[in-house]
Structure 1
Amino acid sequence: MRIAVIGGTGLIGSKVVEELDADGHEAVPHSKSTGVDVITGEGLEAAVAGVDVIVNLTNSPTFDEASPAFFRQSMDNLVNAGREAGVRHFVVLSIVGVDQVTELDYYRAKVLQEEILAAGPIPYSIVRATQFMEFVDSVLSWTTDGDTVRLPATPIQPISAQDVADAVAEVAVGPPLQGIHNIAGPEVFPLDELGRITLAAGSDRRTVVTDDSAGMFAVVRGDALTGKDDASLAPTRYADWLAAHQDTA
């Protein structure tokens, strides 16, 4: 099977390409660095010519009010190119609970991406993942002031990038779902507690203070960002991921 992985040089994309190639498929990574621009359309026609599946892992460069325009333009270009090329399956990666956090521009933009895909002419699959373990350090940095990190107690169910890539690759080579597949890590943590665990593992002397008004996840209500009963649980536990990450840091 020939698969165009758009955004195929990034954190998830590079792992998806590796996984698909290992399984005997022909996965071709595309990004700005390879001459493909999803906004201008440059290189898209050649990128999707003769492929069976498009996997779109591109992301908006910002999380603010500019993100909807990115997803609208990129999806319009990709859907049109895929339709002209006769692509039989279009996969995107989204976020568990994305439609329940309407306060965030970026989450509304991801919902728009899903809606454009679902309304289009190409059979599709949407993989929704919980928050990546790889992004926890960034989340801590957003609300760090000196030696203090302020975090809400928002429930989070982190998943490793490798587990996300495995799930995306599996869906990509299967039949179109015409719907959503939810994936999540095996454990739920309050975000403030996850911050304390992360800092302790790295011998980081910063202190986490629980502040339910701090950071972008403060607007999340209840357990919107955790996998529900229909979610497939990935195998990697956060402590194991942390240990492996410390070994390679």
Structure 2
Amino acid sequence: MFPLIQRCCFHTSFKLPKCTGPRLLLYGKNKTVWSSLSLHLQRDVCPLSRSPSLNPASIYATKLQAFHTSLPFFKKKTPKESETKDAGVLQQSMKSLKDSPKPALYVSLAGLIPFVSVPLSMAIQGTYYPELAFAQFTYGAVTVSFLGGMRWGYALPEDSPAKPDWLNLANSTVPPLLAWQALLFKDVTQGAIMLVIGLGIALHYDVSLLPDYPRWFKVLRVVGTVVMVLSLLATATLKIILEEQLSNSRNKRQNTK
């Protein structure tokens, strides 16, 4: 049967094999049936060989195309899919922030005022005030200590999933130690960097290591930490810029005299 189909597909003439000898005697009675069957095969199969879609080149190309087809999970995500995913995460975060209890939301936002007001007032007046910078610096150290001590309050209740073991209680003392170390620096820039490290460690505790916190609290912690870090870095940057401008103006006055 395979040589028959091969001859039809490659435009060769269809010829029935001659039945001689014993075969002729064996199939003599069914000669009419055999010939009609061969005519049907020649009429039905050979037209298919004339269609351009079934020639050997097209069949080979189709196999190659099927072989090189990439799987769905290997395909790169389009920019629209990534943008919609990011927008969905942002919307969920904002919704969680709105669902937070009003006292927790308002008290947390009010606690950010001392951080934001110091660099904002320096930038508006164009003058660096060491007293305001030290006040912000001290308030940041107190805040870092408070955020580290929250883990004690989370681990002490009997029904809490976090047990009062060495790991939880010792880790809660790390942010206060960093805040104390920050107060020992005479330079505000070095102290601000130490406070930023303490804020990052406290955020890691609350978001990653304590998964039982509600979502609104985690979103509120992320927003508050970002604002505090940016405020401390802004004060340190303004200190460098404004003091340099002040020294340049003093040098110009001395040169003119």
TM-score (norm 1): 0.27
Larger proportion of strand:
1
